[in-house]
Each structure stands twice: as structure tokens, then as C-alpha cells.
Amino acid sequence: MFGPEFAALTIAIVALISVIAFESMAVSTAMPEVAVELDAVRSYGLAFSVMLTTQLLGIVLAGVWCDRSGSLPSLLSGQVLFALGCGICGASEGFSVFLAGRAVAGLGAGLTFVAGFVVIGRTYPESIRPRVFSVISAAWVLPSLIGPVLAGWVTTTWSWRWVFWIVVVPVAAALVVLLVRRGQIQAADAGVEPSSRDHRSHVRAAWLGLGIAVSAGVMQWGTHELELAWSPQVVAGLLGLVGLALCAPRLLPAGTFAMRRGLPSVMLSRFFLPCAFFGTITYIPLMLTGERGLSLAEAGSLLAIGSIGWSLGSWVQGRDSFAGRRDRLVSVGGGTLALGLAGVVLVTWAGWWPWLVAVPLAVAGLGMGMATASLSVLALSLTRPADHGSASSSLQLADVLGSVIGIAATGAVFAALHTRAGEDVPAFVAMWVGTAAVATLVVVAGRRIRT
């Protein structure tokens, strides 16, 4: 993995993932300040879910693009779009422009993530892929440790705008490194037999990708300022949900939502995990600053402490002793995640010392680290190299769709129950009891992976 043949490529991919991970974690800390300045507190969750919506489109398009033209075009284009979107966010004077920047960045992130998985599947031998995914998971750890703290400091010292602007230079540096190693990536793509999907299937997938992105966007618009009364906005949210229900099954392996054995249960597990985790963690800074009086820097520090568990979990799954037993790690990871989220509910409901929330967050991160990296390995091992593009696309689609649904659902609950800062504990508890229940479904789905 870090030998002469793969060292430069590994470092390039890890650096790119780290930059995107930093932005993801940093934005969680800066968003309370963004929401206040741009007068969008009730639309707080929309800033996250809009990016995830366009990420869905990018994921589907990247699967088609990688199958037809190799992984390099999608990988390079994704980085350019991600940097452009971050620049727009930093320059925005209104929430609508800010959301447009998040949308562009999400499209770029979707293209990048799928292409990166395809590069790993086609370039690295199967025997070292678990260690590669362990390193990729760990690439989230340093940004998770320093990102929230740095973002809190940058926002307090300068402005939240610099949280978005500071990532542009590192993305450009990663782009240069991948251009230098483009020959290795192109050689791996050239050695793969044609995809089993024909042109008609690719076109169908692209249109379905557009459909799922539009449906997700409509659903989020309909739920971001939800009130407990019928309105055109509520109807739009329901129609968007119906659109997702119609499009998603056609982009995932047959039987995914029926929890069919094998690859379908891999995808369903990958859907439930981020739905539960990010549906919770997105609102942690808002709870800590609004209900417990912590500063943005202190809230960021708590997220950073909690991320250590994810690092440990990814290291555990990378051990050779788990070869052939990774399906069990998925179930254990789901149970551990559910336990951690239940702890978050308890600390919030009981009004305990707010710094204690770091403990259940670390437990939840441990479960995510064990399960998500294991699912990445399982998805590639259950498909042939020619179909790694579609498999990676499906995996990332399930991941992001789970995040979209989780954040939209918790956002709808928060919008419906929100009163004012200092009196929102019942809203947070209701949200997170639901996400903890979703996490328990991973235990069941994980047991259905082994064929």
C-alpha cells in the first residue's frame, strides 16, 4: 500500500479525502454562525441536505462515467467543482447563494468519491484493499480532530467565510498530484473488461440519477420549515419522498429494500448507518451552543473528541483476522452505533454536563468505523472489476441517500418542534430517539450479508 508501486497514489487519494472530510466536519461547527448571519436558523438542516442532494446526482453520473471512460475524468472534474462550490459559499451574501455553492460542491464530492473507490478497486490487489479502506477511513480522523476546532477558531477570529475558502488551495494541490499519477490510473482502467451495462442502461441510470436528485431536493424543500398543518410545502415534501421511493430501488441492487441476502444487504446497511449517524451529529453543535451555552470552539472540540472512536473502528476492521468475517463486524458496528446514539439521547434529556456527550459520540464513531469500511470491502469483493463503477456508485448512493433522509427527517422534526434556543431539548430528544432506532436495523441487515 505504501510501497514504491502504490505510495504516491495512496497519498494522493488520502489527501483528497482528507480535504473533503475537513470541510464536512468544519462546516458542522461553522453552521450555527452561518444560520444566524444569513437568517436561516429554521432552515439549518437544508445547508447539509442540499449538498447531499447534488452529491446523489454526482454519484450516479460518476458510476456511468467511470464505466464508460475510466475513473480519471470523474476524479479530476469532481475536485474542480468541489473547490468552486466552496468558493461560492464563502462569497455568499444570502442563503440562496450559499445553498447554490453547497449544491456545486456536492456534485463535485459525488463525482470524486465514486471515482476514488473505482481507482482502489481496479488498481490495488484484493488482499490489501481492507488496509487501504482502513487508511481511507482514518483520513477522516485528523480532519475530524482538527477540523471542528480550527473551524470554531477561524469563525470566531475571522469569519465563517474562511472555513470555506481555506480548502481551495489543498484541493488544487491534490489535483496536481493526481495529474502526475494519471498514467497509473489510466493503465488500471485499460486492463478492465467492458462493463456488463450497455449504453441504454447507462442512459437510464443517468436519468434516474437526475430523478432522484430532483426528488430529494423537493422533499427537503417541503420539510425544511415544516409546520404541523397541511400546506403546499408539505404536499411537495411527500411527493419528493414518493419520487425517491420510485427511483432509488432502480439504482440499487435488486432486493435492497427487501433486505435480500448478499450485496443488497450490504447496500441497505450502508443506507441505515449514515441515516442514523449524520441525522444525529448534524445537530449536535446546535444543541450544545443553543441549549448548553457552549461556544462554537467548545462544540467543535467535542465533535473532535468523539471522532477518535471512528479511527479505532476503522483500525479494528483492517486487521487480517477479520478476513471472511466482515459481515459480523457490520452487525457489531450497528449495535455499537445504536448504543452510542442512545447515550447522546440520555445526556441531552438528563441535562448532564455537556462535555459528557463526547463519550457516546466516541462509541457511535467506533460503530461507524467498524461497519462502513467493512461494507466498502464487501461491496467490491462481491462484484467483478468491470462492474466496480456501478457497485461503487450504488454504495455511495446508499450512503448519501441515507444521510439525506436522516438529515431531512431530523430537520423536519426540529422545524416542527422548534420554539427558541434554550427550550428545544424535547425536539432534540425526539429526533435522536428515532435515529438510535434506525441504527438497530443495521444489526439485522448485517446478518443478511453472508450468502
Task: Identify which of 126, 125, 116, 168 has the alpha carbon closest to the alpha carbon of residue 9.
Answer: 116
The mean per-residue pLDDT over the stretch 382-401 comes to 75
Please enumerate in sequence order all residues whose Cβ is within 8 A of that of 101, keeping only pairs 6 or more positions apart, or say none: 85, 86, 87, 88, 89, 90, 91, 92, 164
Nearest-5° Cα angle at 301, 297 to 304: 135
CB 349 within 8 A of CB 429: yes
* Separation CA 427–CA 423 (nearest Å): 9
Cα→Cα distances 186→3, 8, 183, Å: 19, 15, 5
Please enumerate in sequence order all residues whose Cβ is within 8 A of that of 171, keeping only pairs 6 or more positions apart, or say none: 16, 19, 79, 82, 83, 86
Cell of 168: 481551495
Task: Identify which of 237, 301, 268 has the alpha carbon closest to the alpha carbon of residue 45.
Answer: 237
Residue 191, burial from CB neighbour count under 10 angstroms (0-12, 13-18, 19+): exposed
Res. 229 pLDDT band, cuts 50 70 90: low
CA 176 to chain centroid, in Å, comes to 25
Q: In this predicted structure, what is the pLDDT of residue 363?
A: 93
CB 414 within 8 A of CB 431: yes
Average pLDDT, the chain: 79
* Separation CA 369–CA 365 (nearest Å): 6
Q: In this predicted structure, what is the pLDDT of residue 117?
A: 76
CA 47 to chain centroid, in Å, comes to 14
Higher-scoring residue by pLDDT: 369, 296: 369
If you write DSSP's letter for every residue of 150-180 in order, what string do you get?
A: HHHHHHHHT-THHHHHTTHHHHHHHHHHHHH
Task: Identify which of 364, 375, 380 has the alpha carbon closest to the alpha carbon of residue 436.
Answer: 364
Structural domains in the chain, CATH included, are 7-446 (1.20.1250.20)
Res. 360 pLDDT band, cuts 50 70 90: very high
- As a whole number of Å, the CA-based R_g of the chain is 20
Amino acid identity of residue 199, one-letter, is H
Res. 42 pLDDT band, cuts 50 70 90: low
Tens of pLDDT along 2-16?
555 667 777 777 777
Is the pLDDT confidence value at 224 over 70?
no
* Separation CA 140–CA 277 (nearest Å): 15
* Separation CA 99–CA 35 (nearest Å): 12
Is the pLDDT confidence value at 1 over 60?
no
Q: In this predicted structure, what is the pLDDT of residue 442?
A: 93
Cell of 338: 445504536
Is the pLDDT confidence value at 269 over 60?
yes
* Separation CA 225–CA 414 (nearest Å): 9
Res. 194 pLDDT band, cuts 50 70 90: low
The mean per-residue pLDDT over the stretch 186-195 comes to 61
- pTM for this predicted structure: 0.70
CB 393 within 8 A of CB 212: no
Cα→Cα distances 147→21, 144, 154, 300, Å: 8, 5, 10, 8
If you write DSSP's letter for every residue of 226-259 in order, what string do you get?
A: --SS--HHHHHHHHHHHHHHHHHHHHS-TTTTTT
- Write out the H or E segment, with its range, that includes residue 142: helix 141-157
Res. 298 pLDDT band, cuts 50 70 90: confident
Res. 238 pLDDT band, cuts 50 70 90: confident
Tens of pLDDT along 44-84?
667 777 787 788 788 778 877 777 677 788 888 888 899 89
Is the pLDDT confidence value at 280 over 70?
yes
Task: Identify which of 354, 327, 355, 364 has the alpha carbon closest to the alpha carbon of residue 446.
Answer: 327
Q: Which of 152-156, 284-288, 340-344, 383-387 has the lowest mean pLDDT?
A: 383-387
Q: Which of 152-161, 272-281, 348-357 has the lowest mean pLDDT?
A: 152-161
